[in-house]
Structure 1
Amino acid sequence: MKRFLILGVMALFAASSLYAQTKGAASQKKEITVKGKLQFTKDPFNRTYVDYGIRLSKGKGDKKVELMRVTPDANGNFSFKVDATNPQLYNLSVYGIEYVDFWAHKDDLTINVRGVDTCRYLVKNPPFVYIEGSEDNNVLNLVSQATYLNYQRMILTYQEDYKAGQTKDSVWHECVRNNIRALDKDLNERIRLIVRMYKDRPTVLYAVNMLDKKVDRELILNTYDVLIKKFPWFTEAKEAKESFLKNENQEKLLAIGAVAPDFTFPNLDGKMVSLKDLRGKLLIVDFWASWCGPCRQETPNIKAVYEKYKDKGLEVLSVSIDKKESDWRKAVEEDKLTWLQLNAKDSKKLMQDYQFSGIPYIILIDKDGKFVAKNIRGEKIEAAVKKALNL
């Protein structure tokens, strides 16, 4: 799931005057209506939702701004108006559980969502949400469905992978591994097709951000150039291209043999710990989060490798990107993680420095703090450790 954390996750573009006929042209105030209905309005377990209601925001990360809160009626219906004078991307947060991005331009929209969580334990595995009413949102619909279906299949496949790993059936285990690789390839192909189909629409940036920046380098840069040429005022396309080239330069600093960027975060006792403090031993660094299913399904693999090679100089460091400290602590306790744990609540710089956009992201660094292996999963973790230890 390296491409979506969505933490999720994806890097989204900010509001801009994309369809103006001339740069800087004055526009009349325009609003569209967004309506929808909650499928579930009552929690069978009578829990109190801290993030009550539906929040409308725009922007991402430290630039995110909440615009309004909407309370559905007794039947779960809701409706509100948003500014579409300049076509732009908005985000809906439904009870802090379900998140939906939508593009506001000229058409009224209908967005039906699940609503409150009816499971005993709150889960961050929201369903696919279809945005009805505009062609522009079809890009978002196609990307969202592709990633949603891929995630569901990946969960099931990793569950099977775990079971296969508990047996001595190597044929079964390798077959499951092939299925995992096939799922990843399938998602890549779907996203590439979406980009090619909608390369002349500003909303295609939503899909471009999911492409493999090495394999799809030419397609990515060509798409940026098409948008920059067709929409000279579309600053997001120009900024995206500049960021892409800047990240390419950053990646050169992350080559195998280069020193891993340092970071400092608090451990479970609140003590600040830096990566450089751990030099002297071979180190697995696992970037993860409590809400990431594939991350926690990877934990048994890390545990097995740690137990097998800890007496030979191997250590493990887990760095959670959980925003809520309580979620992080609970997951550590549930999964019985015995090695050093750090919590990176503000993970933006960390993810930029290490150039990953999805988790789990697992690396191996040597006693001098230099990269030995990157983005390793499953059996590749042990293989990398054995190679580093000359076993």
Structure 2
Amino acid sequence: MKITKLILLALLFPILASAQTPNFSLTGKIGNLNKPAMAYIDYMDNGVGHEDSVALVNGSFKFSGYVSGNAYARMALDHTGGGKGRAVYTGDVIYFYFGKEQVTITSKDSLQNAVFAGSKVYDESEAYNKVIGGTIMALTKAVNIDFNRGTPEQQKDTAYIKAVDQRYRQNIQNRTDKQFLFAKNHPNSYFALVALSEAAGSKVDVAKVQPIFNALAKELKATDMGRELAQRIEANGITAVGKTAPLFTQNDAVGKPVSLASLKGKVVLVEFWASWCGPCRAENPNLVKQYNTYKDKGFEIISVSLDNVKERWLEAIEKDGLAWIHVSDLKGWNSEVGRLYGVRAVPASFLVDAQGKIIGNGLRGEPLNKKLAEIFN
């Protein structure tokens, strides 16, 4: 028996070893930057997040690792030693797709002006973005340029601001229409799945999305992105007002399992949020007020965090004074409860009555206050 186990381990070892062998590299050369300049990368591979950092030496840096398929990355370059947060939100940042490839990234001065070579996946993503009219970041940059073309007087004029906004919204709608068309016309392309996933949004038009999704190649639907989109399509039906709220159990901040079923008999707000979400944090003072007003009348809140760093999650709870139930699996956008409810943007909420039926979807601010007053007063 021992010999058999040894043989099995010997047979499995090459497989296990190969799974750890790096199959991609991202080699960069940005000018002649040296310390304290740092490059940071965050990337998603089949639903799993990864991050890394490296100091630049004479402008050079390299990331390598293992991916199971195509990955989506955010890379930030900190030129002056201000740290990752500053680099990501106010610095030199790019977003891109790559695969099991040896990629080179070169520029004289910045990531934003970098040229990619050696990546078929990157080239395909560029071709796809050209067809649909550019990335969201590109459209956002364009609307800022559009706004800044106005004189100082025009920039204070509501009619001018409205016209700029309307042009931007029309460009977004045009892009979405082209994404649906791309997904329909290229069912074997990875970027058909990317297009459909993004165009579908949080409130999925099932009649429109389902047929296109069904026509996609089987291997695309089997990816994490494909499975998530399938969950989102399904969630559109099971989280509608009048439906029984999907049950879940998740650990609280001290590791104790909390179930939605255990709160039956109370009116419950299932609130999806994150410590990094500005609109979520802005709504918290109102939630505190409503909770304190109605908690003794049978109102409860269970906040599901889409954080992936426990310390930041707990710090936000304490800082905002959120004295209700908090749960999270710390998987970020891959939160099991978030995926169950089809949540792709925060804040998001579902108001559940004492019998477990959803009676409100996306309520916050005054609409939430009004609904709670109707129930409890």
- Short-chain TM bin: 0.5 to 0.7
Q: How far did residue 386 of structure 1 move?
A: 3.3
Partner residue of 1:360? Answer: 347
User: Is the 8 Å Cα contact of residues 28 and 106 (structure 2) preserved in structure 1?
Assistant: yes
Quick one: distance in 2 between partners of 1:371 and 1:293? 26
The equivalent position to 2:193 in structure 1, one of 201, 205, 208, is 205
**1:1-391 superposed matches below 5 A:** 34-37=27-30, 54=40, 59-62=45-48, 71-79=54-62, 88-89=70-71, 91=73, 98=88, 100-104=95-99, 110=105, 135-138=123-126, 139=128, 142-145=134-137, 187=172, 189-196=174-181, 199-200=185-186, 201-212=189-200, 216-217=205-206, 220-221=209-210, 223-224=212-213, 228=217, 235-237=219-221, 244=229, 247-346=232-331, 348-389=335-376, 391=377
Quick one: distance in 1 between partners of 2:299 and 2:33? 48
The one-letter code sitting in structure 2 at the alignment partner of 1:313 is: G
User: Is the 8 Å Cα contact of residues 140 and 206 (structure 1) preserved in structure 2?
Assistant: no
The one-letter code sitting in structure 1 at the alignment partner of 2:73 is: N
User: Is the 8 Å Cα contact of residues 263 and 275 (structure 1) preserved in structure 2?
Assistant: yes
Quick one: distance in 1 between partners of 2:167 and 2:374? 26
Q: Using a 3 Å threshold, how does the CA distance of structure 1 residues 216 and 104 change in structure 2: closer, same or farther?
A: same
The one-letter code sitting in structure 2 at the alignment partner of 1:351 is: G
Identity of aligned residues (%): 23
Q: How far did residue 330 of structure 1 move?
A: 0.7
Quick one: distance in 1 between partners of 2:200 and 2:250? 29
TM-score scaled by length of structure 1:
0.59
Q: Using a 3 Å threshold, how does the CA distance of structure 1 residues 318 and 101 change in structure 2: closer, same or farther?
A: same
User: Is the 8 Å Cα contact of residues 301 and 324 (structure 2) preserved in structure 1?
Assistant: yes
Q: How far did residue 254 of structure 1 move?
A: 2.9
Looking at both structures, which has the greater relative contact order when contacts are Cα pairs under 8 Å and sequence separation is at least 6?
Answer: 1
Partner residue of 1:7? Answer: none
Q: How far did residue 100 of structure 1 move?
A: 3.7
User: Is the 8 Å Cα contact of residues 317 and 340 (structure 1) preserved in structure 2?
Assistant: yes
SS in 2 for 1:102: strand
Q: How far did residue 285 of structure 1 move?
A: 1.9
CA deviation digits over 1:277-296, x for unaligned, max 9?
22222122211111122221
Quick one: distance in 2 between partners of 1:180 and 1:285? 32
Q: Using a 3 Å threshold, how does the CA distance of structure 1 residues 88 and 376 change in structure 2: closer, same or farther?
A: same
Q: How far did residue 255 of structure 1 move?
A: 3.4
Q: How far did residue 76 of structure 1 move?
A: 4.2
CA deviation digits over 1:183-224, x for unaligned, max 9?
888755533334436753532422321223666546545654
Partner residue of 1:160? Answer: none
Q: How far did residue 306 of structure 1 move?
A: 2.8
Q: Using a 3 Å threshold, how does the CA distance of structure 1 residues 34 and 287 change in structure 2: closer, same or farther?
A: same
Count residues with an aligned counterpart. 309
Deviates more, 1:299-308 or 1:130-139: 130-139
Q: Which runs of 5+ in 1 are unaligned?
A: 1-29, 45-51, 116-126, 153-171, 173-178, 229-233
RMSD across aligned C-alpha pairs, in angstroms? 4.9
Deviates more, 1:267-276 or 1:129-138: 129-138
Quick one: distance in 1 between partners of 2:191 and 2:58? 33
Q: Which runs of 5+ in 2 are unaligned?
A: 1-22, 77-82, 89-93, 145-157, 159-163
Q: Using a 3 Å threshold, how does the CA distance of structure 1 residues 281 and 100 change in structure 2: closer, same or farther?
A: same
TM-score scaled by length of structure 2:
0.61
Q: Using a 3 Å threshold, how does the CA distance of structure 1 residues 241 and 81 change in structure 2: closer, same or farther?
A: closer
Larger radius of gyration: 2
Quick one: distance in 2 between partners of 1:75 and 1:241? 41
User: Is the 8 Å Cα contact of residues 273 and 305 (structure 2) preserved in structure 1?
Assistant: yes
CA deviation digits over 1:250-269, x for unaligned, max 9?
54333333332333333345
